[in-house]
Amino acid sequence: MSPAWRLHPAWQELIRISARNFQAYRFRLMGWMVTLMIQLYLLRVVWSAVYDGRESVDGIAGDTLLVYLTISTLHRFFLPNSIAFEIEQRISSGRVANDLIRPFGFLKQMVAIQIGNVAGSALLLAVIVPLAMVVGSLRLPSVENGLVYALSLVLAYVVNVLIFMLVGLLGFWLVNIGGLRAMISISSDFLAGALVPLWFMPDELRTVVEWLPFQAVMFLPGSIFAGQVTGSDVIRSLIVQVVWIVVLAGIANVVWKRAQRKLVIQGG
Amino acid sequence: MAIIEAHDLVKVFERTRRAEGRFATIRTLVTHQKERTVAVDGVSLSIDEGEIVGYLGPNGAGKSTTIKMLTGILVPTSGTATVAGVVPWDDREANAMNIGVVFGQRSQLWWDLPLDESFRLIGKMYRVPEAKFRQTLEMLVELLGMKEFLATPVRQLSLGQRMRGDLAAAVLYEPPILFLDEPTVGLDIVAKERMRGFIEEINRTRKTTVLLTTHDLDDVERLCKRILIIDQGRVLFDGPVDDLRRRYAPHRLLEITVSGDGVDALREITHDPPPGVNVTAAEEFTASFEVDPLVVPVARVIAEFSARAPVVDISVREPEMEGIIREIYEAKAVNA
Residues of A in contact with B15 (CB under 8 A): 264
Q: Which of A117, A41, A121 is nearest to A81 (CA)?
A: A117
* Chain mean position to CA A36: 16
pLDDT at A3 over 70: no
Tell me the CA distances in angstroms from A180 to A170, A175, B28, B94, one per residue in order.
Answer: 9, 11, 12, 35
| Cross-chain CB nearest to A10 (options B16, B106, B125) | B125
Determine the structural domain holding residue B295 and report its residue range.
Answer: 250-318
Within this chain, do residues B164 and B307 fall inside the same structural domain, yes or no? no
Residue A58: the pLDDT is 81
Q: Decide: B167 and B118 in contact? Cβ < 8 Å.
A: no
In our burial notation (b when 16+ CB lie closer than 10 A, e otherwise), range B4-37 reads: bbbeebbbebeebeebeeeeebeebeeeeeeeee
Is A17 in contact with B117 (Cβ distance < 8 A)? yes
Within this chain, do residues B195 and B78 fall inside the same structural domain, yes or no? yes
Residues of B in contact with A260 (CB under 8 A): 75, 89
Chain A contact residues (CB < 8 Å to B): 2, 8-10, 12-14, 17, 21, 24, 94-95, 97-98, 100-105, 173-174, 176-177, 179-180, 260-261, 263-265, 267-268
CB pairs under 8 A between A and B: 81
Q: Which of B69, B73, B128 to mutate to test the interface with A (most CBs of A within 10 A)?
A: B73
How many domains is chain B partitioned into structurally? 2
Within this chain, do residues B151 and B281 fall inside the same structural domain, yes or no? no
Does any CB of chain A come closer than 8 Å to the CB of residue B27? no
Residue B149: the pLDDT is 95
Does any CB of chain A come closer than 8 Å to the CB of residue B185? no
* Distance between B283 CA and the closest CA of chain A, angstroms: 48
Within this chain, do residues B206 and B257 fall inside the same structural domain, yes or no? no
Q: Decide: B220 and B241 in contact? Cβ < 8 Å.
A: yes
Residues of B in contact with A103 (CB under 8 A): 93-94, 96-97, 125-127
Is A17 in contact with B110 (Cβ distance < 8 A)? yes
Query: What is the pLDDT tens value at each position of chain B, 336 positions in all?
Result: 799 999 999 999 877 666 777 777 677 667 667 788 899 999 999 999 999 999 998 888 999 999 999 999 999 999 999 999 999 999 999 999 999 999 988 899 988 889 999 999 999 999 999 999 999 999 999 999 999 999 999 999 999 999 999 999 999 999 999 999 999 988 888 889 999 999 999 999 999 999 999 988 888 888 999 999 999 999 988 999 888 877 777 788 899 999 988 888 898 889 989 888 999 988 889 999 999 888 888 889 999 999 999 999 999 988 777 777 887 777 766 654
Average pLDDT, chain A: 87
CATH number, position B310: 3.30.70.100
Please tell me the distance from the alpha carbon of residue B124 to that of residue B95, in angstroms, as a whole number: 17
Mean pLDDT on A187-215: 91
Is B117 in contact with A267 (Cβ distance < 8 A)? no
Q: What is the pTM of this model?
A: 0.82
Residue B323 domain flag? no
More confident residue, B124 or A79: B124
Please tell me the distance from the alpha carbon of residue B87 to that of residue B83, in angstroms, as a whole number: 6
Residues of A in contact with B106 (CB under 8 A): 94-95, 97-98, 267
Mean pLDDT on A205-214: 93
Out of B222, B246, B270, a domain closes at B246
Residue B258: the pLDDT is 92
DSSP letter at B158? -
Is A101 in contact with B125 (Cβ distance < 8 A)? no
Q: Where residue A1 falls among pLDDT bands split at 50, 70, 90?
A: very low
* Angle at CA of residue A82, ends A197 and B151, nearest 5°: 145
- ipTM exceeds 0.85, yes or no: no
CATH number, position B198: 3.40.50.300
**Beta bridge partner(s), residue B48:** B2
Residue B336: the pLDDT is 47
Q: Where residue A2 falls among pLDDT bands split at 50, 70, 90?
A: very low
pLDDT in tens, A32-69: 889 999 999 998 899 888 888 788 888 888 888 999 99
Within this chain, do residues B197 and B229 fall inside the same structural domain, yes or no? yes
Within this chain, do residues B150 and B173 fall inside the same structural domain, yes or no? yes
| Cross-chain CB nearest to A17 (options B64, B106, B121) | B121
Within this chain, do residues B194 and B280 fall inside the same structural domain, yes or no? no
C-alpha count within 13 angstroms, C-beta hemisphere, residue B223: 35
* Distance between B125 CA and the closest CA of chain A, angstroms: 5
Residue ranges per domain, chain A? 9-262
Residue B258 domain flag? yes
* Chain mean position to CA A167: 14
* Chain mean position to CA A247: 17
Q: Decide: A34 and A198 in contact? Cβ < 8 Å.
A: no
Q: Where residue A264 falls among pLDDT bands split at 50, 70, 90?
A: confident
Within this chain, do residues B177 and B269 fall inside the same structural domain, yes or no? no
Backbone angles phi, psi at B291, to 5 degrees: -110, 130
* Distance between B36 CA and the closest CA of chain A, angstroms: 12
Residue B301 domain flag? yes
Within this chain, do residues B309 and B201 fall inside the same structural domain, yes or no? no
* Angle at CA of residue A14, ends A11 and A18, nearest 5°: 140
| Cross-chain CB nearest to B72 (options A98, A101, A179) | A101
Q: Decide: A193 and A209 in contact? Cβ < 8 Å.
A: yes
Mean pLDDT on A167-184: 84
Please tell me the distance from the alpha carbon of residue A94 to that of residue A106, in angstroms, as a whole number: 13
Please tell me the distance from the alpha carbon of residue B45 to that of residue B7, in angstroms, as a whole number: 7
Tell me the CA distances in angstroms from A196 to A43, A199, B242, one per residue in order.
Answer: 12, 8, 76
* Distance between A10 CA and the closest CA of chain B, angstroms: 5
* Three-state SS at B4: strand
Q: Which of B22, B127, B172 to mutate to test the interface with A (most CBs of A within 10 A)?
A: B127
Question: Can you give chain A as a three-state secondary structure string?
Answer: CCCCCCCCHHHHHHHHHHHHHHHCCHHHHHHHHHHHHHHHHHHHHHHHHHHCCCCEECCEEHHHHHHHHHHHHHHHHHCCCHHHHHHHHHHHHCCHHHHHCCCCCHHHHHHHHHHHHHHHHHCCHHHHHHHHHHCCCCCCCCHHHHHHHHHHHHHHHHHHHHHHHHHHHCHHHHCCCHHHHHHHHHHHHHHCCCCCCHHHCCHHHHHHHHCCHHHHCCHHHHHHHCCCCCCHHHHHHHHHHHHHHHHHHHHHHHHHHHHHHHCCCCCC
Residue B333: the pLDDT is 61
* Distance between B64 CA and the closest CA of chain A, angstroms: 7
Tell me the CA distances in angstroms from A4 to A7, A8, B93, B155, one per residue in order.
Answer: 8, 8, 14, 35
Is A12 in contact with B75 (Cβ distance < 8 A)? no
Beta strand B2-16 with B99-103 is unpaired
Please tell me the distance from the alpha carbon of residue B294 to that of residue B307, in angstroms, as a whole number: 22
* Three-state SS at B151: coil
Residue B331 domain flag? no
Please tell me the distance from the alpha carbon of residue B66 to that of residue B88, in angstroms, as a whole number: 12
pLDDT in tens, A216-249: 999 999 999 998 888 889 999 999 999 999 999 9
Q: Which of B166, B175, B149, B168 is nearest to B70 (CA)?
A: B175
Spatial CB neighbours of A179, under 8 Å, sequence gap ≥ 6: B25
Within this chain, do residues B18 and B148 fall inside the same structural domain, yes or no? yes
Please tell me the distance from the alpha carbon of residue B233 to that of residue B251, in angstroms, as a whole number: 30
E-strand ranges in B130-195 read: 177-181
Residues of B in contact with A9 (CB under 8 A): 124-125, 127
Q: Decide: A167 and A257 in contact? Cβ < 8 Å.
A: no
Residue B125 domain flag? yes
Within this chain, do residues B309 and B198 fall inside the same structural domain, yes or no? no
Within this chain, do residues B162 and B282 fall inside the same structural domain, yes or no? no
